[in-house]
A = this chain, B = another copy of it.
Amino acid sequence: MTKARSRVLAALDNAAEPLSAAGVMEAIGQSCDQATVYRALAYLEGAGLAESFVFHCDEHGTERYYVKAAAAHRHWFHCRTCHRFVDLGSCVLDSILAGYEKEYGIRVKGHALYLTGDCADCAAKAGGA
């Protein structure tokens, strides 16, 4: 494991939420080139040490976000106000996916669920009540 890669992995590990390549760069203080960060992220994912998903947010555009690999498949909620991600715990879609497989004859090999809205803090500040 090279210096660059362990720095990137440490950044993912320290982050409480998924990080984009830009987020990783910021976290490691520009200590390596962006190409290196992208390559490190690809390496970590290939090595099973990180996972990623592509997410689009109006304010930040479309980016791939990475998290340290975890035991269970998880989903995230993205606050459209403070732009933070909230961990929704492990995936609860198994029975729904199984239903789709049966109903449509498809074989589901991967899935992603993205929720957006206001997090508890932002909802309290904005909407009141």
Residues of chain A having any CB pair with chain B under 8 Å: 54, 56, 62, 64, 77, 79-80, 86, 88, 92-93, 96-97, 100, 104-120, 123, 127
Question: Would you call A104 and B116 a contact (CB within 8 A)?
Answer: no
A-side binding surface: helix, strand, loop or mixed? strand
Question: Would you call B100 and A88 a contact (CB within 8 A)?
Answer: yes
Question: Would you call A110 and B117 a contact (CB within 8 A)?
Answer: yes
**Nearest CB to that of A113 among chain B residues?**
B113
Question: Would you call A104 and B88 a contact (CB within 8 A)?
Answer: yes
Which of chain B's residues have a CB closer than 8 A to the CB of A113?
93, 111-114
Question: Would you call A116 and B109 a contact (CB within 8 A)?
Answer: yes
Interchain nearest-CB distance for A82 vs B (Å): 12
Contact of A105 among B64, B97, B120 (CB under 8 A): B120
Interchain nearest-CB distance for A100 vs B (Å): 6
4 closest A-B pairs (Cβ-Cβ)? A105-B120, A109-B117, A54-B56, A108-B117
Which of chain B's residues have a CB closer than 8 A to the CB of A64?
56
Question: Would you call A115 and B86 a contact (CB within 8 A)?
Answer: no
Interchain nearest-CB distance for A105 vs B (Å): 3
Contact of A118 among B62, B100, B109, B112 (CB under 8 A): B109
